[in-house]
Amino acid sequence: MSTQKIQLAIKAPAGEVWRALTDPAISPAYYYGFEARFPTSAGEPYSYVMGGREVISGTVTDYVEGERLGMTFRGSWAPDVAELPESRVTYVLSDTAMAVLGLTQLTLTHDGLPESTTADDIERGWVLILSGLKTLLETSAPLVPAPTA
C-alpha cells in the first residue's frame, strides 16, 4: 500500500484554508469542479459532487474544526478509480510556527491505496488540487478553470 504525503505553506489564516476545504461554494474553483459536502462532526458521511453526481464519498473519521479533517475515501469519477479499495485522507492545518508570517502549513496524507498507476495519477491530482487551493487563497483566482459537468 502507498502513502502519499504533500505539505505546503499557504499565505492565509488556518480558518480560511479550512473554509476553502469544506465549503461547497469554494471547492469547485480548485477541486476539478467538485462541490465539497461535509458534516460538522466525525462519524458522518461526506461527499464531493459534480453535476449532481457523487464522485467521492466516505465517512468523516476525524473532525477538529480549523485543525484536522480525516476521512475514508472512495472515488467513483472513473472506472479504474472505482475499482480501488477504500483508502484514507487526512488534512492537517497548522499556523502556530508560521503565524508571524501569515502562513498556514497544510499537510495532506492519503494512505491505503495499492501501488498502481492509478494511485500515481491520484497523487498527481492531489498536487494540482492543493496548488489550486493555494493559488485561489493567495490570488483570489483559480489556477485552472473548473471543468463543467
Domain CATH code at residue 22: 3.30.530.20
Taking residue 139's Cβ as centre, other Cβ atoms within 10 Å add up to 10
Kindly state whether residue 146 falls inside one of the protein's structural domains: no
Nearest Cα to Cα of residue 4 among 129, 128, 107? 107
Share of the chain above pLDDT 90, in %: 83
* Model confidence, pTM: 0.92
**31: containing domain:** 2-139
> pLDDT tens, 19-69?
999 999 999 999 999 999 999 999 999 999 999 999 999 999 999 999 999
Kindly state whether residue 62 falls inside one of the protein's structural domains: yes
Kindly state whether residue 149 falls inside one of the protein's structural domains: no
User: Identity (one letter) of the amino acid at 76?
Assistant: S
**What is the widest separation between alpha-carbon atoms in the chain?**
45
